[in-house]
Amino acid sequence: MPALSAACALLLASASALAQPASTFPVVTLTAGIYLIKAEVAATEQERQQGLMLREKMAQNEGMVFVFEAPAGVCMWMKNTLLPLSVAFIDEGGKIINIEDMKPETTDSHCAKKLVRYALEMNQGWFKQKNLKPGSTIEGLPRVR
C-alpha cells in the first residue's frame, strides 16, 4: 500500500508541474532607474521560442529578457502565452527603442522600430506604471552565453 501512495503522490506532483511550467531559465537582476527586475534570460533559439508560454502568473517585478546574438529586426507574438504582457525593445546600449502591449494567445506581430539586441517582457502596463518610455535605459543586460 505505501508504494501505491508514493506512486499517486508522484503522479499528482507530475500533473502539477505540467500545469505550471517550472522555470529552467537563468535569472539576472536588471535595473530600470530605481526599479529592480528579476528577469529570466532566454538566450538560445529554443529558449526564445519557449519564452513565457503557458505561464499562468508572474510576480510584479519579474519578467523575461530575450537576448539576440547581434542587433536584429525583432518581432514578438503571444501564441500559447496566457498573460497580458508589455515588451520593451532595447538596443545594444540598453536604451528602450519602443514598447508594445500584447494580448494573450494572439499571433499579432509586435516589432522593434529599429535593430535591437534585447526584448524585455513584463506584465502588461509595468513600463507605463514606472514611467519608463522610449529613451529610458535598462542596466545589467546580459551578453549571449
Q: For the residues of the chain, what is the DSSP string, one character each?
A: -HHHHHHHHHHHHHHHHHHSPPP-S-EEEEEETTEEEEEEEE-SHHHHHHTTTT-----TTEEEEEEEEEEE--EE--TT--S-EEEEEE-TTSBEEEEEEE-TT----EE-SS-EEEEEEEETTHHHHTT--TT-B-B-PPPP-
Question: Is pLDDT of 106 > 70?
Answer: yes
Q: What is the pLDDT of residue 24?
A: 84
pLDDT tens digit sequence for 114-128: 999 999 999 999 999
Which of 2.40.128.20, 3.40.50.300, 1.10.600.10, 2.60.120.1140 would CATH assign to domain 20-129? 2.60.120.1140
Mean pLDDT of 11-33: 65
Q: What is the pLDDT of residue 23?
A: 62
Q: What is the pLDDT of residue 7?
A: 37
pLDDT tens digit sequence for 42-77: 999 999 999 999 999 999 999 999 999 999 999 999
